[in-house]
Amino acid sequence: MAKTSKLSASNKTSSEKKIGAKKTAKTTSLGRKAPTNSLKKNMAKSTAAKKSAAKKLSPKKNLTEKDLAQKEANRIINSSPKSKSAKRPVKSRTKSENTKLLDAIIDGLEEKKAKNIIVLDLTSIGNSVSDYFVIADADSRTHVEAIADSVEDVVTKKNGEKAFHVEGHRVGEWIIIDYINIVVHVFQKEKRDYYSIEALWADAEIRKIN
């Protein structure tokens, strides 16, 4: 009887150990699964966010290269100044005042040997952002910046006027100087060829300076 009792107790202990081991394994298994599922969810969210961002950044398929170039040109031309409170004033200069400003701008461009200077007369084009575009190009970033600085200096000295907004010095490939009625574009040569503002405003009257 004693032997039977011992065997029974031994079997019972062995069974309890097995059950305990199964519970431990189950707990350990569940403990591993929880962070894995959480990680999968986080990865899924991250992937979805990246896809959404990429979709926003990618150009629309129905836009041609020229359309994209024009869109970028219009974005920069119409870009507002850094100050949120400042609004682009309404054009108010007389024809005589425009002529004086144009002359000062051209003097500033020529002083630093800007190349291929042209004036686009937009006065006959409806809904134009300005009366005139003055466009020139340069050989390098340093040259572009020197020309832009020269235009601002000469206009201030001769006309006592400061630009409403200047953009592009940070990159130096295309600097825009906005005098409301007249907008000056100073490009590096390859950027001017790429954006081809003259072609975008083909209806404008063109006057070549040099």
Tell me: do 71 and 39 sit in the same domain: no
| Structural domain range at position 178 | 65-76+91-208
Residue 93: which residues within 8 A CB-CB, separation 6 or more? 101, 131, 180, 181
**pLDDT value of residue 209:** 95
202 burial type by CB count under 10 A (0-12 exposed, 13-18 middle, 19+ buried): exposed
Tell me: do 190 and 97 sit in the same domain: yes
Which one-letter DSSP state was computed for residue 164? S
81 is a domain residue: no
**Sequential pLDDT tens for the chain (210 residues):** 544 444 454 554 555 555 555 544 444 444 444 445 554 455 556 556 555 555 544 444 566 765 666 666 666 555 434 444 467 777 678 889 999 999 999 999 999 999 999 999 998 887 788 899 999 999 999 999 999 999 999 999 999 999 999 999 888 899 999 999 999 999 999 999 999 998 888 889 999 998
**pLDDT value of residue 46:** 54
Closest CA relative to residue 137, chosen from 104, 158, 113, 108: 113
82 is a domain residue: no
**pLDDT value of residue 205:** 92
The pTM (predicted TM-score) of the whole model is 0.61
**pLDDT value of residue 200:** 87
Tell me: do 15 and 69 sit in the same domain: no
The number of folded domains in the chain is: 2
